Structures are given as C-alpha cells and as structure tokens.
Structure 1
C-alpha cells in the first residue's frame, strides 16, 4: 500500500468516526538550490525542502496555512487553485486582487473550508513564482466518493515544463520590445513529480490504481498515451465524470485528470506508457509542423526482473475530446442565462512597443489597491466598474447565470481559468473554427462537463456557463503564466453589494501596511472621490519588476 493510499484511508476513517476538523500547516518559503534535471538552480521551497509538500484534507475540513516569506528579495503569496472560497474570498491568494503581496520577513494566515472534494493544487499567484517551484498538490478526500470502491491504491503524478533561468529574468525579456514577434521563453526540460526521470510505478496484477495527474506547467500541455492498458478518466479538475476510455489524453496547464488504470493477468509483466510535452502552438495544425522533442517513457512494473519495453511511437496524437465528457450522477445543467461576457483574446502592444496580451484590446494592469479591498471600501460606488481601474472589470449580480464567450484570435491554444467557480463547458469546437457564431448557431453540449480550466483551441472559441453564487472578486485569465504576465486577465466583481464593509482579516491588512500598500479607496487609493481616476495605474509599467 502506498503512503498516499494509507493517508487516504486514515482520512476516511476520521471522517466516519471522529473527523479532523482543522488541518494546519506552518510554512516558510525560502530560496534553496535544486537539481531536478541535472542543472542546479534556485527554487522556492517550503521549510527548506523542494518539491513542496502536499495539502491533504477531507471535504468540509478547515485548512489553515501560516505562510512566512523568507525569500528576502521578493514578495509572495499562495492561491489555492480550484477552491471556491465561499465567504472567504480574501483567502484566494491572488496578489493585488484579493490580498496584498506578502513582504519579505512577514507572515499571514490563510484559513478556509474545503467544500469541494477532488484533485487540486496550490501555487503562488505573485511574480510568476510557481514557475520557480512554489507549487504543490492539494488533495480533498471524499468519504462519499462514488469511485472509492473501484480502485485499490492511488498516486499523485505532477507534470511540468521547466526552465533553467528564474522567472523574473525570463519575464523581463518576454516584456521587452526585442521580443518580436512575441514568443514565450524556451522550455529547457520536462519534469514528472519534479524530477526528470522516466517514471516507474510498481503495480500488482488484478489491482486498479487511481492516478491523479496535475499539470503544473507555465506554458506546456502534456500528452499521455495509455494504448496498452485499460485506462479510464473518472474526474477532471476535481469534478467526477462518467467513466470514459482514455487511450490518449491531453492535459493543459493547470488542469487535473483522475484516471483509473486496471491491470489483469492477461497483461504482460511490464507495460510502458508515453508522456510527451506539447509545447506546440497548435498540435492539430500540420502546417505548423508539430514537434515532440521532450518526452519520457513511464513504466507500470509488475515484475522488476522482467525487461522493460519501449512505448510505441506515436505519429499522430488524437486525444479524447474532454469537452464531451459527461458529469457523474444526476447533475442538472444550468439554463436561461441572463448575462453574456464576450472576450476577444489576442496579442497587442503598449505605448513602448512592449508585447502585451489583451482582452478586448486592453491588457490587465495591476493597481495600487487590491481589487477586493476597493469593493469593500468605496460604498455604493462599488457597482461602478470605473473604481476598479484597468483590470478589465465586469460587474455581476449574485444569482446571475453567466455565459462567457472567448474568441481566441491567436494561432496557439489558451487554457482559461476562472477563480471561485466551476463552469459548464457548453461548446469548445476544434481549432480554426473561427469566431463564435452567436447563440442561435452554437452547438450546445446538453450534458456538459464541469471544469475550472478549459483549453480554447487556436483560432476558435469556447462558450462556458456558471452560476454567479459566490460574492467576491474572481479573476478569469489564461493559465499560460507568460500570458498572465503580459495581461491576459479579466476581473469579475460578483455581488458587490454583499462586499461593502467586508471584514478583511487584520493580519492581511497589517501586511499591506508593512509594504506601504493602501487598503481602501478606488484602484488608486482615493477614498474621498472614488470616481476620480487620476491616481490609478492606467498602463502597464515600462520596466517589469515582477
């Protein structure tokens, strides 16, 4: 039995008997040295160790993370990806959105209830630091998991692209006039569980294993080839789906897939499977000549003394269409949307000829006051998008059923993530399908899967739908980290009336004070005249400081 399987059983027993209500972590973020692929570089570890530890809890538990910033030269913070943060929006962890960046030497506490079971992850939402290693698995166990009797053991498998330079230096070249045409930094390596090594999983025949795949990448997707084993997807982004055969799977940045792999006596002793990094703009477009230079061959080993075989060569990747997966159980899809947000995603340039990434021709610009703090302190003005500055703000009422349409005008796929919600994937056509034809011509998926991150194909579009039931400030952004740095982000201010006078934790406010960041007023810190825009940041900075 694996350590993770033992932990899962302990959590389920506690849930059935005495339930552990609070799970506490005391963490210090430090720069340390690591050599995951043969090249030593600084990484951000926790308590002097890297890879960073997992967060593990049962659904309904309270998670407490006390984070101390020992980095010395950078601010930091933590975002808990996929957590809804019901009534705790100030714990979402996005810097200058729901909190101030945590200054060097300072400590804050994150405290929230995990209300959704499944496979998630946490990462810094500050200065692109998760690319430097500040990330890890977040596992929420469910005593009522409908698939709990269908597998014997489980493993977490993280996938990541990797860079030999620190993010701050890569971002500075990215955001320079010399980066023309705009291109992301080159990927140096591929990591599985934060090491470059062909992964080996020791298995027993007549057992079934749950593999929790998490893509931690800054930019790359991953292809998995399971053609020689019985593999079935049972969950995506934490939400259960009906079993679906998974001979080939593509996992975009920030996405998670839970896959059952079953072994019987009919299989050979050791079975290979392929992990290939997809750094292509559009793997479906032969004119772009897709390449697969970074890949690893994993092995399911039932006989350590038997020889290992090579995986079959894959000439053409045809992964399953995840937009056609069906939710598990009696889920009733949302109907009758009353709000539409249409976003045109494309690259642009600022006044300094620096490449940016824009929604509706506007790049996201960090402000002087965290957006949630503005919503909490400007009174009745918080329903006016003007007070939030150049963060691409959209005001939503609690209870709205919202459709978001993204038209991707780029020749690259883009994974878009919504904070604080899971959404239905109503329509996600193939690459080069053009722009959204409108509601009357859209082929709506009548039984759509739920996700928190959806990959939008090149020169195509996506239609997603969600219930706006979680008052707060929620980002919607591309989860290619380089495109976040370039500005491909919008801000949803949901139920602003419920945010007036919001009680922000005192240690969070104190951390703002210690770095000199205002905690009240409009985006520029003007509390007396919130509609005045003179003091707001209206353009991205010329020099990238992180």
Structure 2
C-alpha cells in the first residue's frame, strides 16, 4: 500500500562500512498529501524526502542544492552525535548559515561505530519541516558471526518505517505569522489533519468557510498490508510540529523495545503505545494475536494528544484510522498450534512511554550525585507576552529569547555572541566517564515542551509535572538541599536514555550528559512554533 515503507537491513548489517554519496535538489510544488492542495517541499521530487539507510561506521556525503526561489535552508541529522563534525549539524545560527538560493552545501560526516537506531533528518530553517522538508534516517546495527561462524538469524521478518506528523493546510509561514501576534494569546495553532509517510485522507466536509481549501475527497483511505505470520519491527517517528500521539492496532501485540535511536527499554507488550512527542522515536515489535489472524482487516489508529490544543478546531479529526489488510492467514488446521510468536503473551491496555526504563541497569559510574564529580545547570523555560515585545508570544530560557545571529556562533568569537539573544553556557570538555553535567529544565508554561539536545544522548533521571488541570507549580531546584524533587527520588539505576525529552507543564525534567563531545550544540523545544518564537539556547562543550 501507499503507506508501506519497507526497510532493507539485509543490505547493510552483513557488509563492511562504506561511504554513501547523495545529491539532493530541494524544490517546491503543489501536492495533495491528504486530498487538500498544499505547497510542499520536495527532495529530488519526493515528499517526504528519501529514506536513508546505513550501518554504524558508514560515512555519508550529501550534497544539497537549494532550488527554492526565495528561501535559504539547512539540514539537521536528528539524533546523530556528529562527533568531530559539529560544522555539519545543520543548526542555522549555531553551526552554519542558510544554504543560499541556488547554492550548494555538502554535509560530510561519519556515523559512530557504536551508534545505531531510528533517526530522521529535517530542515532547521524556520518552518520548513512543517511543510514536508524531512525524511527518515535508519542506521542498522551490524551483525557479528556467532560461535558457529554464521551470522545470527534476524529477530524480525520485516522492518517498516512510519513517519507520523500533524498537518496544517495553510503554509507554515502563515501559521507562524498567525501565532506571532498579540491576539493569539500565545495559544499554539491547532493542526488540520495528520499524515503517515506523507499520505492521509481528509474529510472535505470538515473544512471551515473561514479558511477555504481546494479539497478532493479520496474515495478510499490509504492503508497498509501485513503478513499475519510475520513479526515486524516498526520504526515510528513523530515528525510533527505540535501534537504528540498514541498508536494502536486492534488484534496486534505491540511492544516498545527502543526509543530515540537504539536506546533499549524494558519491554512491555501493550495494545497501545504513547505518547510519542515531536522529535521522538520508538521502535515497536509487532506480531498478530493468533485468535485475530483469521480476520482479514484491522486498522492502525493514530490519536493526537489533545492536551496540546487550547482551542477547538472543527476542521480536525484528532483520531484517525488507516486500514490494514492481513495476508497469509493461517488455515483452520494450524490454529491453536502455538506457532504464533505472540501466543500466550499477556498485554496491558496501554504503555506510557514516559514511564520507560532502560533495559540494562545503569553502569557503575551512574551513581548518585557527587558534588566533586557532577556539575549542575538549572534552566527555566516559558512563553511570555511582554509590552516591549508588542505582546507577541516569545519563548524564553533563563530570560533569554533566542534569535539567530548574523554569522554562525561556531565561526564567531564568543564576545560577538553577547547581544542579549544568545544563551550559550560554557561546559568544560572531559573525556572521563566519571564527569557528568546534570541539566534541570523547569517548565513554567501551561503546556509541555519536548526538548531536543543536538550532539548528545542523555539519561533522563526524572521528569514530572502537576496534574494537567492543576495550576500549581512543580519546579525543582536542586540547590535547595532541604527540598526533595516534587516527583520523587531521581532514578540512577535504570534511567531511560533519549535525545528528546518531554518536560510536562508546570513540571521539570532532569537529564544527565557526559560532556565528551566538543562543539556548540543547540538545545531547544521541538514544537516548531515555540522554537521559532525563541525557545532555544546552546551548550558550548570545550573549545575557546
């Protein structure tokens, strides 16, 4: 079906590392991803962009030509550490200037030997990823021969990539302009639709007269095909701008096994999994319940998290289903023989990704905080409407609203940064595994923020927020030794490892990094409207 993006690990896990060369031309054209005509971005004519598959240790050289008529752009490789390649991280204002109209830029970097998993790439220029300038990036883990000299049998029969995003029918630049007004009252724009792998099916009757659209009703909803006898690995990415989502497939057993790029978590078979916030990824093991396998059809259900919506949008159906057609159904004679992988596995109704724990206990160096070895940084983030900013909603981190400088920070002396719009604390570089930096992110807003740190994975020692309907405050100040974290003791034993953490409303998250990847790395809210409004900063690790 049109949603099926089948991956090919067999082409990568058994070979030696090599260099992949790509030539991309970025253009734009009107397409109908969900039946509604919309100007979107294309990479070599594709929407979304082509899927990159590689293995750990591979090198990528990607020449990007800007074929757009009026905009610069840059590409970020979300989740890759980019060790020694900070200049190719793609963060405009931090590591590069926009690729000019008609210009070219070649990204050259090596994937670390110890990094694999589900990643993605997207534009880091203003609002372009909301209009389709993104794609999947999967790094396969190399297979090593066993004691018998043969490579191990693959754990999964097939792997699929699933990119899910909320969709705005208006150009994202217009949506941002609507938000960046005093009359928006800092209420984030609610999307109109959702897509899987760039495809959806909009109900044209939901269109609002105030925002007329050119809509062609699709006669059949796009769907997927699965073999009922196969075990699948679904690599799921939230490429959206605002909403998290929960995913379910009636009749299937889903088990979240990894998050944010190869970080294994304790498996819990469940009927549904969520919430996956923008920028985050989850790998799901999917198999079919034996008693259900005699039924030919079911659905993939995506339910957007409506806690992110502060006003109703009648044009949006927040819960949508995509049909699944099952093939290779078992015969009546084979039913009940216990051959189905999911047979007799108990499942829970819902697995909450915010409760995920690392599969393996923390290494010895992840011991409780030691003042002599651990540094701590405390951040406060909020959205403010201030008179001197004409009451336009602006994102702040420690009283600083980020704005891109005229030249990238990486190529400018530090004194040039001190212009009131750059919060970039310096962190000494350390190659020692016993040196940590704990970062406490306190969220003062009424909505949550998924924060992404470039160049690093981090251990989530704790994350907590007050009840969604409460106006109480749940900030955490680690320097007040007489007050415990409101959410309870921090987790030093099996903290989940991520590169994008959701900080609940009126709450906090505590993350721990080892400052062993020198460079200037962006830390920002991955909600596109907040990032564009200034909810961003940087970390300078080492250097002058």
| TM-score (normalizing by structure 1) | 0.80
Q: Does 1:436 align with 2:476?
A: yes
1:365-409 per-position Cα deviation (integer Å, ceiling 9, x unaligned): 2212211112xxx3xxx4x79647521111001125111111111
1:265 is displaced (CA, Å) by 3.2
1:137 is displaced (CA, Å) by 0.3
Whole-Å separation in 2 of the counterparts to 1:163 and 1:149: 39
Q: Which residue of 1 aligns with 2:83?
A: 86
3-state SS of paired residue (1:173): helix
Whole-Å separation in 1 of the counterparts to 2:199 and 2:120: 18
1:418-461 per-position Cα deviation (integer Å, ceiling 9, x unaligned): 00000001111243461115375231112101100011111111
1:412 is displaced (CA, Å) by 0.8
Gaps of 5+ in 1: 307-316, 498-546
Gaps of 5+ in 2: 145-150, 202-220, 331-348, 468-472
The count of corresponding residues between Structure 1 and Structure 2 is 471
Distance 1:278 1:67, change over 3 A: same
1:200 is displaced (CA, Å) by 3.1
Whole-Å separation in 2 of the counterparts to 1:67 and 1:300: 36
1:110 is displaced (CA, Å) by 0.1
Coordinate RMSD, CA, aligned: 2.9
Distance 1:200 1:280, change over 3 A: same
Distance 1:305 1:466, change over 3 A: closer
1:245-296 per-position Cα deviation (integer Å, ceiling 9, x unaligned): 233321100100000011253324233342111242389xxxx999983222
Whole-Å separation in 2 of the counterparts to 1:326 and 1:294: 31
Whole-Å separation in 2 of the counterparts to 1:274 and 1:49: 25
Q: Which residue of 1 aligns with 2:120?
A: 121
Moved more, 34-43 or 359-368: 359-368
Distance 1:406 1:148, change over 3 A: farther
| TM-score (normalizing by structure 2) | 0.80
Checking the alignment, whether the CA contact within 8 Å between 2:251 and 2:289 is kept in structure 1 is no
Q: Which residue of 2 aligns with 1:9?
A: 10
Distance 1:385 1:73, change over 3 A: closer
1:345 is displaced (CA, Å) by 1.3
Counterpart mapping for 1:490-529 below 5 A: 490-497=537-544
Distance 1:389 1:221, change over 3 A: same
1:490 is displaced (CA, Å) by 1.4
Q: Which residue of 2 aligns with 1:295?
A: 319
Checking the alignment, whether the CA contact within 8 Å between 1:280 and 1:290 is kept in structure 2 is no
Distance 1:333 1:5, change over 3 A: farther
Distance 1:277 1:148, change over 3 A: farther
Q: Does 1:320 align with 2:352?
A: yes
Flag the structure with higher helix content: 1
Q: Does 1:398 align with 2:429?
A: yes
Match of 1:477 among 513, 524, 531: 524
Q: Which residue of 1 aligns with 2:445?
A: 410
Distance 1:343 1:282, change over 3 A: farther
Distance 1:183 1:192, change over 3 A: same
Distance 1:190 1:106, change over 3 A: same
Whole-Å separation in 2 of the counterparts to 1:302 and 1:91: 43
Match of 1:222 among 236, 245, 269: 245
Q: Which residue of 1 aligns with 2:400?
A: 362
Checking the alignment, whether the CA contact within 8 Å between 2:4 and 2:225 is kept in structure 1 is no
Distance 1:289 1:302, change over 3 A: same
Moved more, 162-171 or 479-488: 162-171
Moved more, 238-247 or 360-369: 238-247
Match of 1:259 among 284, 291, 294: 284
Match of 2:307 among 276, 280, 290: 280
